[in-house]
Chains A and B, each alone.
Chain A
Amino acid sequence: MQKLGSKNSFGSENVVNKKGKLFLINKKLHENLQSNFFYAGLYLGENKLGKFSPSLNLLSILSQQIANKVVIDKKASWLFIYGKDIFRERILKVNGDTKKGVITLVLNNFEDCLGFGEIIFDLDKKPNKGEAAIKNILDLGDFLRREK
């Protein structure tokens, strides 16, 4: 979450870990939860080999707070949820850090969170022709790809 420029944190008493998968649960769920559950509350992401992969739910929560964000246009939004990277000219607005290597949330022009990516070209510099500025790491299309 810090990598995304967020200062948010969840109390550890509200988060349950099931084989590396983290779920945010409220008191009512906590009281009724049994250890053999398959899914519970809000899925936050997965810890795998020491690396945390945030869920789209978590990204959506962070997008409503202070974090690194880029807002992209309609065409780029469509392409992004099909797994494509983002070109500089398709970025309408930038919040937070703009440097190469920074992780940023990607929002559409309604400010809905579509996923996140890594800035691979400083956003305040002029990119080379045909070079993507943000590499797609995770996008909403993942919901469709998982089902296949």
Chain B
Amino acid sequence: MSKRDFFINRYKQLGWNFVNIRPNQAVRINRNNSEPKELLLRLKNSGVQLEQIPFLKNGYWVIQSKVSVGATAEYLLGFYSIQGAASQIPASLFTKIRGRKVLDACAAPGGKTVQLADLMGNTGLIVGLDVNKRRLRALSNHLERCHISNSIAYLLDARQSSVLNLKFDRILIDAPCSGNFTMDKNWFNRRTIKDIKQNAKLQRELLRNCANCLEDHGEIVYSTCSLEPEENELNMDWAVANLNLKIEKIDCYGEKGVINIFGKKLNNIVTRCRRIWPGKTQGFFVCKLRKKW
């Protein structure tokens, strides 16, 4: 069996028949910097046609564009960000985020940090961490371009986040993961189960350390762009069993989390997660956890 067939067979066992797709390009309007109606008109006059994504408040598909949407004056002015539709979901799941203390545990290159700041109306505090200096520069550029004023970025591994001596009300863990085939045409050749298990281990370390920095009643949103259950449902099942966290109900695009994983039955509550199989968007997984008290 080829590596490709091996993974496709796994997806089939999880309930999805493989389709080779290329996700649509999407943008997100930064409401702190621009009014959608005005921006849509300006972009239309520059040859960029956008259409609202039904399941996102500020997300738009790029229907047609005569220019690169990453090089318009409006983009450089921070009026919008280029951000995949599924990637716009995690930050939108937090409740009452304005004025809060928020940790973006794996922040670079900053799409979700900027989205959090936008949702917070530049109030409160966001601490953004990343382990890679080059990626942190990209994050800084993104923050500067979008006029974000409520964020602090550190070159720090989120597994060491306790050194900051801060407790957070909300934590976003958009975890480093194995990715998926929609973003990388060589994905099937490059990936092995060993990689996936290594990533799952790192993700559990991130979850454990971030949970220690979470205030009582605080929320964690965990997401990956992996389709592999080891990095998704199995990690959430583990978090519920080991980290004094419970999974919250969420109302967003996607299918219920899978609880029958290759013969292993997970806690029923894992169905509250959302699994997004590739289609209009890239593949994605998201789950909202709350600290028990």
Contact = CB atoms under 8 A, between A and B. Distances in A.
Interface size class of A (residues with CB under 8 A): 20 to 34
A132 to B, nearest CB: 20
Most chain B beta-carbon neighbours within 10 Å: one of A39, A43, A141 = A39
Contacts of B153: 37-40
B166 interface: yes
Nearest to B67: A78
Contacts of B166: 32
A29 B125 contact: yes
A33 interface: yes
Nearest to B142: A143
A40 B144 contact: no
A16 to B, nearest CB: 10
A10 interface: no
Interface in B117-163: 124-125, 127, 133, 136-141, 143-145, 147-155
Interface of A: 24, 26, 28-29, 32-34, 36-43, 55-57, 60, 77-78, 81, 108, 110, 112, 114, 140-141, 143-144, 146-147
Interface of B: 42, 70-71, 73, 76-77, 101, 124-125, 127, 133, 136-141, 143-145, 147-155, 164, 166
Given A34-B154, A38-B155, A39-B143, A28 B149 contact: no
Nearest to B101: A32
Contacts of B125: 28-29, 32
B42 A40 contact: no
Interface of B is mostly: mixed
A110 B45 CA distance: 13
Contact of B152 (A24, A40, A81): A40
A34 B71 CA distance: 35
Nearest to B164: A34
Interface of A is mostly: mixed
A1 to B, nearest CB: 18
A39 B140 contact: yes
Contact of A33 (B71, B147, B148, B152): B152
Contacts of B149: 24, 26, 41-42
Given A114-B73, A146-B141, A57 B147 contact: yes
Contacts of B147: 42, 57, 60
A42 B151 CA distance: 8
A2 B152 CA distance: 29
Nearest to B45: A74
Contact of B150 (A29, A37, A78, A147): A29
B29 to A, nearest CB: 15
Given A24-B149, A57-B147, A38 B140 contact: yes
A39 B152 contact: yes
B77 A43 contact: no
Contacts of B154: 34, 36-38
